[in-house]
Amino acid sequence: MHPLLLSEPFRLHTYGVLLAVAFLAGLFVVSWQARRAGMDSGRITDMAVWVLIAGLLGAKLMLVVVEWDHYARNWRDVLSLLRSGGVFYGGLLGGIAVAWYYARRYQLPGWRTADVLAPGLILGQAIGRLGCFAAGCCYGKPASLPWAVTFTDVYAAREVGTPMDTPLHPTQLYESLANFLIFVVLIWLAPRKRFDGQVIVSYVALYSGARFLLEFLRGDPSRGAFFGGLLSTSQLIAILLLLGVAVVLPRLARGRAADGDARPRGQS
């Protein structure tokens, strides 16, 4: 764990550097996927920038909502959000809202555009979780496994509350690996999809399933609690998203089948 790349003459946080790398990598993949899909890569990349900004703001706002009791009593701690990644699902909802507005304004095909954005988004998440590992946030529960990690940085403990000298599940690395694997799946699926929307819906399903399971290994307290602490906020949202996928995916597939039936013979 190295939360600071530089401490003098100024502080350079590893998380911030990796977040910038995540932005650039995600934008590169979005531009590539747009060209691959025969869409205006410049327009789609501009859209991705606004979606990423909205995602950052949404993630931080969701953290305030989840931890409202704390921030209501300690409003000065709102400034600490500048060093926090926030709650991912808040970022996802914020990004979706901006993407929907942008697509409507510039008359972009909604599902096809979402398919283009999905691989870049999950790649950014994968790199961003490496930043979480460097910062010490989003840590796991105590573990006695051979690959358990022990954080010893006093700065990280002071800034994000990372337990020191205690072997923990490296949940940040678990999620980063899961996200990289999902990225590979989406890149493979994109040119083979059978209908518009298949890539983004696959992203939502795969990420939500992985996040739901990984939440059981998380040890940090800033995750909210429902049903007597049985589920975290992220798990509840993951369930709702998976239910949404179960409703939307068959409709998209049926719409594709109907379009195919409506085509004159000889067309594909």
Strands (E), the chain: 4-6, 12-13, 149-150, 167-168
Residue range 216-234: mean pLDDT, rounded: 79
Token readout for 184 is 């590979």
Query: Which pLDDT does position 265 carry in this prediction?
Result: 41
Confidence at residue 70, expressed as pLDDT on a 0 to 100 scale: 62
| pLDDT tens-place string over residues 83-126 | 555 677 788 888 888 988 998 898 999 899 999 999 999 999 99
Residue whose C-alpha is closest to residue 121's, from 183, 59, 171, 174: 183
**Residue 262, in any domain of the structure:** no
Residue 148 resides in a domain? yes
Which residue range is the domain that position 124 belongs to? 4-254
Assigned domain for 188 exists: yes
Share of the chain above pLDDT 70, in %: 84
Is residue 267 in a domain? no
pLDDT at 57: 84
Per-residue model confidence as pLDDT tens digits over 31-85: 999 999 999 999 999 998 898 888 888 877 877 776 666 666 766 665 555 555 5
How far is the C-alpha of 152 from the C-alpha of 185, rounded, in Å?
A: 36
E strand map for 12-91: 12-13
Domain annotation covers residue 260:
no
- CA torsion, points 224, 96, 26, 247, in degrees to nearest 10? 80
* Low-confidence winner among 113-117, 137-141, 189-193 (lowest mean pLDDT): 137-141
Residue 263 has pLDDT above 70, yes or no: no
**Structural domain total, the chain:** 1
